[in-house]
Chains A and B, each alone.
Chain A
Amino acid sequence: DAKTTQPPSMDCAEGRAANLPCNHSTISGNEYVYWYRQIHSQGPQYIIHGLKNNETNEMASLIITEDRKSSTLILPHATLRDTAVYYCIVRPPSGGYQKVTFGTGTKLQVIP
């Protein structure tokens, strides 16, 4: 099962774009990249996922490199409410979350 590597912490100024990197160099061709975030004292919240193509939704954009060995989650205009721990995970298409490793994520601090 592919594992991910994320920086332990990042700061971002309020209103600026937050770019959170993730390395998943051992990802298999059919495994998806998922992003979750966890605000203090809450459960993880789904943000976005992708396979090969870049994806965008109302919360964020996901950029996956062509070789799929890394990705970047982009929060276009960070707010204080975006302060959270962000997890990048890899999930096989036919399997559920029992095969997923969350790791310790990136703690994003949005600064006023």
Chain B
Amino acid sequence: GAGVSQSPRYKVAKRGQDVALRCDPISGHVSLFWYQQALGQGPEFLTYFQNEAQLDKSGLPSDRFFAERPEGSVSTLKIQRTQQEDSAVYLCASSPRLNTEAFFGQGTRLTVV
């Protein structure tokens, strides 16, 4: 596709359930970023990949959050034992190189009930 694709668009999870959110970046983009966006707030950084290497995971809120990008393209953000405070929109962005503009996907809205 032409843009960053995220799936699913919406996810409802019961508290305690594990979820996996997928990001398909623009083909050939080296850098990939995950953000969390709470209602009424701006996106907040979670983690960053350069190719398959996770170079920064300082924004992950707890050890229940895990991200991977094993082949340097598709990335998955996994949240274990979801809690209500995990409810948010999770955004993925990619860029051709580290120091160029990033393009965002439409996000996955996660609701934990």
Residues from chain B with Cβ under 8 Å of A98 in the complex: 33, 45, 47-48, 55-56, 58-59
A-side interface residues, number (CB < 8 Å): 22
Which parts of B30-74 form the interface with A (CB within 8 Å)?
A: 31, 33, 40-45, 47-48, 55-56, 58-59
Contact yes or no, A100 B101, CB < 8 A: no
Which parts of A70-112 form the interface with B (CB within 8 Å)?
A: 87, 93-98, 100-105
Contact yes or no, A34 B104, CB < 8 A: no
B-side interface residues, number (CB < 8 Å): 27
Interface status of A21 (Cβ within 8 A of chain B): no
Interface status of A26 (Cβ within 8 A of chain B): no
Which of A46, A95, A105 contacts B42 (CB under 8 A)? A105
From A87, A94, A100, A105, name the one whose CB has the most chain B CB atoms within 10 angstroms: A100
Q: Provide the bound-state CA to CA distance between A54 and B4, in Å.
A: 29
Residues from chain A with Cβ under 8 Å of B111 in the complex: none
Contact yes or no, A46 B102, CB < 8 A: yes
Q: Provide the bound-state CA to CA distance between A79 and B55, in Å.
A: 40
Contact yes or no, B31 A96, CB < 8 A: yes
Contact yes or no, A103 B42, CB < 8 A: yes
Q: Provide the bound-state CA to CA distance between A97 and B41, in Å.
A: 17
Interface status of B107 (Cβ within 8 A of chain A): yes
Interface status of A49 (Cβ within 8 A of chain B): yes
Contact yes or no, A43 B45, CB < 8 A: no
Residues from chain B with Cβ under 8 Å of A87 in the complex: 42
Which of B4, B43, B98 contacts A102 (CB under 8 A)? B43
From A34, A36, A45, A94, name the one whose CB has the most chain B CB atoms within 10 angstroms: A36
Residues from chain B with Cβ under 8 Å of A103 in the complex: 42
Contact yes or no, A44 B104, CB < 8 A: yes
Q: Provide the bound-state CA to CA distance between A102 and B98, in Å.
A: 17
Contact yes or no, A45 B104, CB < 8 A: yes
Contact yes or no, B104 A96, CB < 8 A: no
Closest chain A CB from B2 CB (angstroms): 13
A interface residues, Cβ below 8 angstroms from B: 34, 36, 41-46, 49, 87, 93-98, 100-105
A/B interface sample: 6 pairs, CB < 8 A: A43-B91, A43-B105, A95-B98, A96-B31, A96-B95, A97-B93
